[in-house]
Structure 1
């Protein structure tokens, strides 16, 4: 083999080895990163669930205690989705419903709505949104306490016609320069309460029995 050919072969082998090593490093990095991201996401989800239903109301691991529900237009869910159940001494104390409103100022707003078995709200938190920074983003618990005002409320408290912002004759404050965002959240929470009320008996019964099929 000529020196030139030998040099070419050595170069090709070197590049091949480099590619293999690089691919291995990238694969390992992706695996480690993916696991870390998944772990962080799970921890974040668990934290939000705990904020929606306080520890005093349950003794189970919320993140692992789930129920499958059929598509629900009133919750903005177009396909089957997962809700969470809070239990204490084996009894269902609350349900956490994921709700999506399409009426945000800049797009969808995803919420978690916690509702006690008696129909009272335990808490509401925003999972994601695209609202204007400094205005609509005040729906986030880390930006203001506005979202915490729902705790303890229920259908009838306030009356149905007052489940909107004060600008529209309701009971809830809006943000200066931003009415659409809080109004969308208030309406979504009310829709969640109405969904719970409409499915309460069956929902709690299936949760307690461990459903094998989605709630219709």
Structure 2
């Protein structure tokens, strides 16, 4: 009987402690949630500004973002698209895409692109590439990623969009060609897919207006 009382006592005590811990965790979550959400939003806005300069838009760029549902561009791992507008006119797009063939796995990219095919900026959002080698795609390590800025891409100049080892115009890294090759190829393929989508969208709009 004494054993049963002792067991019940400790069971109730543990349940009480668990309840207090849960209440504390819940309270901390609600106290910090708004601040965390605000910081995440600031980071997202900063990234968008890095690939689409402020002069290109006067709309709320972050609120214009939506998940991609169009199959022709989802095939190029384009997951989210944001639309920049100036005076009501579309001036650029920012979109997230994934290079699936990095040396250490997926490389998440954010790309800014004008409707005429000018790459306004590229940033690496997430990667797991080798420190000291493949991580040079990260702007904190190297300015290599800036080599995409203001480059024009069209279906007719695809051969230039490769690392120099493959006959293109982009530098590779000493001892690490796979990583920059993956990034260059994905910027090229996803940008061409976006351009095709933009042109088809414009064609459909023009047809409806006639």
TM-score range relative to shorter protein: 0.7 to 0.9
Give the Cα–Cα distance (whole angstroms) in 2 for the partners of residues 141 and 158 of structure 1: 29
> Relative to structure 1, is the Cα distance of residues 149 and 115 closer, same or farther in structure 2, using a 3 angstrom cutoff?
same
Q: Secondary structure at the match of 1:184?
A: helix
Structure 1 contact 119–196 (Cα < 8 Å) conserved: no
**Structure 2 unpaired stretches of 5+:** 206-210
Question: What is residue 208 of structure 2 aligned with on the other side?
Answer: none
Whether contact under 8 Å (1:154, 1:193) holds in the other structure is no
Alignment partner, residue 211 of structure 1? none
Q: Quote the Cα distance in structure 2 between the aligned partners of 1:84 and 1:92.
A: 11
1:182: Cα distance to partner? 0.6
CA distance in 1, matches of 2:19, 2:171: 60
Give me the whole-angstrom Cα distance separating, in 2, the residues matched to 1:185 and 1:155: 15
Runs of 5+ consecutive residues of structure 1 not aligned to the other structure: 208-216
CA RMSD in angstroms comes to 3.0
Cα distance, 1:22 vs. partner?
A: 2.3
CA–CA separation in structure 2 for the residues paired with 1:124 and 1:74: 20
In structure 2, the residue matched to 1:25 is 24
Deviates more, 1:35-44 or 1:95-104: 35-44
126-135 or 13-22, larger mean C-alpha shift = 13-22
Q: Is the 8 A contact 1:158 1:171 kept in 2?
A: no
Whose helix proportion is higher, 1 or 2? Answer: 2
Which of the numbers 140, 153, 157 marks the counterpart of 1:142? Answer: 140
What is the distance in 2 between the residues matched to 1:113 and 1:206? 24
Alignment-derived partner of residue 99 in structure 2: 101
TM-score w.r.t. the length of structure 2 is: 0.83
| Equivalent-residue separation in structure 1 for 2:98 and 2:8 (angstroms) | 59
Higher RCO structure (Cα 8 Å, ≥6 apart): 1
Q: CA 1:177–1:49 in 2, change beyond 3 Å: closer, same or farther?
A: same
The residue correspondences of 1:196-211 to structure 2 (distance < 5 A) are: 196-203=194-201
CA distance in 2, matches of 1:197, 1:7: 72
CA distance in 1, matches of 2:8, 2:132: 61
Shift in Å at residue 60 of structure 1? 1.6
Displacement after TM superposition at 1:58 (Å) = 0.9
1:49-60 equivalences under 5 Å are 49-60=48-59
1:132 aligns with: 130
Q: 1:73 to 1:66 in 2, by over 3 A?
A: closer
Q: Secondary structure at the match of 1:95?
A: strand
